[in-house]
Amino acid sequence: MKSKKIDNFLKLFSSRNFLLFLIDITLLTLAGLNALFVRFGFDFLEMSKYSSGVFVLVIITIISNLLNGTYRIVWRYATPKDLIVLLRGLFIGYAFTLIFIHFTRLVVLPRSVGMLTFLGSYFLLLSARIIYQYLLSWKRKSEKRIAIIGAGDAGVILLNEIKRTNYGTVVAFFDDDTQKIGKYVAGVKVLDSVDSINNYIDKLEIDEILIAIPSASKQVMSRIISTIDTEKVKLKTFPSITEFLDRNPTITDLREISLQDIVGREPVSVDIDSISKYLTGKTILITGAGGSIGSEISRQVCKFSPKKVVLVGRGENSIYEIYNELKEKYYELDIVPIISDVTDKNMMEKIFKTHRPDIVFHAAAHKHVFFMQNNLYEALRVNVLGTINLAKLSCNYNVEKFVFISTDKAVHPTSYMGTSKRLAELYLLSIPDTCKTDFSIVRFGNVIGSRGSVLWKFKKQIENDEPVTITDPRMKRYWMSIPEAVSLVIQAGALSTNRELYVLDMGEQIPVEEVAKALAKIMGKQNIKIKYTGAIPGEKLEEELFYEYEKPEKTQHPKIMRVEYNNLKKILPEEFENKILEIMNKYIEGHEREAENMLYEILEIN
């Protein structure tokens, strides 16, 4: 302990701190001499009588500053609290000097000289530190000239963050509130409305525009982005307001505009109480936890204080990344990463037996239409047999709820991938009531930002100034952001009571070409070339969310529909599994056409 104190004391005299220490001694001495001069003018004889008192005050103040912790402060990042610490050290030094002189009578110090020395020393030491901060700020100051859209609370927070971090210089606010236009907000003028911003880009030499409206809908974001000439300036924004429920945004939250902002940025409200009831204090198993959907389920589930979260996935790197991300944020939570394949019966049995999950989110699946079209065996092995394996274990180990992630490609499937997901749906809906687990299927369309998405291909092509390849100009898809989709998936889990099929409200289908052009504008490259390559095997021009006999019904949530499937002919689970194995064997033996016919026989029954 003693050695540690000595080390801390020695740290005070690093080269930088020692220089500050010497500057402080000089300034304290200067403050004392100035006090003598103010009191006695040019009467040097009188000044010499009391110089020893000033010397004692300087010595005691120096000792006080050392013990006070003044030199443990990193003055580059000093806060108002640190300035109080500085004042405290000087005041203690002044007070102890008065006590020392009163009881020893060794020196004399006029009250006026002592007070002037104290006040002058605070002024000089404080000024030195402010000048130091200013010089650092000036030295590090970015040349970036910034305009902020949104002169509300988020805009002011962003302005203060920019000043604190020297990110750049804010030259103007822009806001559609006519009552704010022409006025000053935190010292910066609100110049005009958002629609007029292009008129100021060249005039003010704006380099970057920051959108400080976390609550902005996709319609608002789309209008802002379409207004601004993205070839002249960079655009950045804050994420959706849902990410700032428990904190203020910071400069590190700023990110480049993404397609999600104009296609899938609808704020989603969920029933926190109903979700908490089925997640809080429970053991939750997530398959495909390293994937786009699975990792987001993991992030959102951890917010509800579960007892344990078991992350299951085949990819070491992806599981490693999500595990470390969650562990850093929820270090007190019991998070278990497991590398395993959902079709491995022995390993999955061990996982269920060891961890006894209460809730299962099954997101593990093969999702690429093109790859699965060339490998029916793998599509059935993972997407169907993997689901069957987990469903059986859930029944055997009394899992409370099982939530299965499905796809719009399962409706009237034209691909092996879509067929495999439909078969998994049929199996789960046919599980007998003797199994007490509540099974829910959540069906939805494309999500923005998923790994391997066509948007990643578009982005790379645009960056390289290559033609954007689209299979067909008539191609349309449903789009939704990953956080939005996962919030609704988790909410659907709270709604389910038996064997339920839910479909998310995906809005209108958007042409893929339109999405590609929007992405190009965001990236500041509006004049892109489009190349049509022709549809790939198994690909549809448009997707569907319902079969003709499925009847969507409203639920407690406006974006989640429950599907009535009364005409569905339930299958016998054991016969179904044997049939799938037979189809897989046919395919391996080279009888793909026969295997395909057997598949569609099952689908025609339903």
Q: What is the pLDDT of residues 218-256, one digit of tens each?
A: 778 878 887 888 778 888 887 665 554 455 666 777 777
pLDDT at 82: 81
Residues forming beta bridges with residue 188, ordered by sequence position? 185
pLDDT at 239: 66
Q: Is the pLDDT of residue 138 over 90?
A: no
- Tell me the average pLDDT across 85-89: 88
- Tell me the average pLDDT across 37-60: 81
Phi and psi (nearest 5°) for 329? -85, -35
- Tell me the average pLDDT across 77-99: 84
Concatenated DSSP letters of 52-94: HHHHHHHHHHHHHHHHHTGGGS-GGG--HHHHHHHHHHHHHHH
Cut 0.95: pTM above it? no
Ranges of beta strands (E only) in 342-495 are 359-362, 401-405, 438-443, 446-448, 468-470, 476-477, 479-481
pLDDT at 247: 57
Q: Is the pLDDT of residue 5 over 50?
A: no
pLDDT tens digit sequence for 552-592: 999 999 899 999 877 666 678 888 999 999 999 999 999 99
pLDDT tens digit sequence for 302-344: 999 999 999 999 999 999 999 999 999 999 999 999 999 999 9
Please name the residue that has the structure tokens 């079969």.
Answer: 547
Residues 6+ apart with CB under 8 A from 421: 365, 383, 406, 407, 409, 410, 413
Size of the chain, expressed as the number of residues it contains: 606
Q: Does residue 12 or residue 88 have the better pLDDT?
A: 88
- Tell me the average pLDDT across 485-505: 92
- What ranges in 443-591 are assigned the alpha helix state H? 454-463, 482-495, 512-522, 573-588
pLDDT at 311: 98
Q: Does residue 277 or residue 241 have the better pLDDT?
A: 277
pLDDT at 263: 64
The C-alpha atoms of residue 153 and residue 157 are separated, in whole angstroms, by 6
Residues forming beta bridges with residue 362, ordered by sequence position? 287, 404
The letter for the amino acid at 115 is: M
pLDDT at 190: 92
- In the chain, pLDDT over 90 holds for what percent of residues? 37
- In the chain, pLDDT over 70 holds for what percent of residues? 90
* Residue range 278-451+478-510+538-568, CATH number: 3.40.50.720
Q: Is the pLDDT of residue 196 over 70?
A: yes
pLDDT tens digit sequence for 415-462: 999 999 999 999 999 898 899 999 999 999 888 766 666 777 887 888
* Domain ranges in the chain with CATH number 3.40.50.720: 145-257, 278-451+478-510+538-568
- Tell me the average pLDDT of the chain: 85
pLDDT at 1: 47
Q: How confident is the model at residue 387 (pLDDT cuts 50, 70, 90)?
A: very high
pLDDT tens digit sequence for 114-131: 888 888 888 988 888 888
Give the gyration radius of the chain's Cα atoms. Answer: 34
**C-alpha triplet 257, 259, 262: angle, nearest 5°:** 90
Q: Is the pLDDT of residue 77 over 80?
A: no
Pick the CATH number of 145-257 from 3.40.50.720, 3.40.1390.10, 3.90.1150.10, 3.30.1330.10: 3.40.50.720
Most confident of 241-250, 287-296, 597-606: 287-296
pLDDT at 567: 67
Q: Is the pLDDT of residue 262 over 70?
A: no
Concatenated DSSP letters of 500-527: EEEEE---S-EEHHHHHHHHHHHTT---
